[in-house]
Amino acid sequence: MVRHLGLKAYGKINLGLDVLRKREDGYHEVRMVMQTVGLYDRLDLIYRNEPGIKVETNLYYLPNNENNLVYQAASLLMKEFGIRQGIHIKLRKFIPVAAGMAGGSSDAAAVLFGVNKMFGLGLSQRQLMERGVKIGADVPYCVMRGTALSEGIGEVLTPLPPVPQCQVLIAKPGVSVSTRMVYENLRVHELAREQHPDIDAITAAIGKGDIHQMAALLGNVLETVTVPAYPVIGQIKTLMIRYGAIGALMSGSGPTVFGLFTNPKAATAAYEDMRYGKGTSLVKQVYLTNFYNRREKEQGT
């Protein structure tokens, strides 16, 4: 029995995001290239003799009940395996919330990993991924992490070779974007072919280890909805390219934008200007990190 676990839940970006169609069940069929980044939330899982799930967060507006994905993740495994003891989850958020970086899904994935280890359930990574999709489409990927092709509703995953390392500048403007609104206003079949990213070409560039070719192919079909509705997203992309990024893109349904830099000095200068200089008028949160490509069994590293 493990009485305490300290875990890291890493965020993700989409190097490519295409939507193929809307299914009869209401879900959208997607093809995405997912990439874990070094920005993470911290979770402490503490064993309790008393039954029940207690959630504590550092953000007052996050729910601490069954509406929080970490609660749902713990509840899923504890109910399935009849665990009568309790667990206290302390969540410290650093990944921007509702920002297209799968922060909530990653937190849930970390809790699945942690509950499995704490109570000795013996579930494999694949078995955790199969359960994770019940919580959210991004959760299986967040269990696996690294570089991957994501298909279906996001649950069909194919590991890809690691992308060559670079600096990743992450900037979130002070706007909130509804994922539902974005998908409801997406007209997949009305879009021109060039508005859809070439996912196969992106994966081929990754396979060759050609980060410049990959960066030139970055694409997110959801930008066709989100950028016109929130022009600041496009402005941040333009600014990052001006700073020297080899590519910039909105992640997920937004509003977070990331820029890829192969020049560390340019990346640092861009970060400092966005945090302290003229760029502050466009962004509310900004982080400088890199790719995270380690696939250890231990999520606590």
Identify the residue whose tokens are 């109570």. Answer: 119
Q: Which two structure tokens, joined as six digits, stand for 101? A: 């970086």
Instruction: Determine the Cα–Cα distance for residues 150 and 247; give it in Å rounded to an integer.
Output: 21
Q: Which two structure tokens, joined as six digits, stand for 229? A: 């509705």
3-state secondary structure at position 121 = coil
Residues designated catalytic: 12, 138
Partners of 34 in the β-ladder: 14, 148
From residue 241, alpha-carbon distances to 116, 206, 245, 272 in Å are: 43, 21, 5, 15
Q: What kind and span of H or E run contains 211? A: helix 211-217
Would you tell me how many other CB atoms lie within 10 Å of the CB of residue 208?
11
Instruction: List % helix, strand, coil for the chain (3-state, nearest 5).
Output: 35, 30, 35
Instruction: Determine the Cα–Cα distance for residues 184 and 225; give it in Å rounded to an integer.
Output: 10
Instruction: Determine the Cα–Cα distance for residues 92 and 165; give it in Å rounded to an integer.
Output: 27
Q: Which amino acid is at 276?
A: Y
Count Cβ atoms within 10 A of the Cβ of residue 132 and give its class: 0-12 exposed, 13-18 middle, 19 or more buried: buried
Q: Beta strands of the chain (E only): which ranges? A: 4-22, 28-48, 52-57, 86-92, 147-152, 156-159, 167-172, 219-220, 247-250, 257-261, 285-290
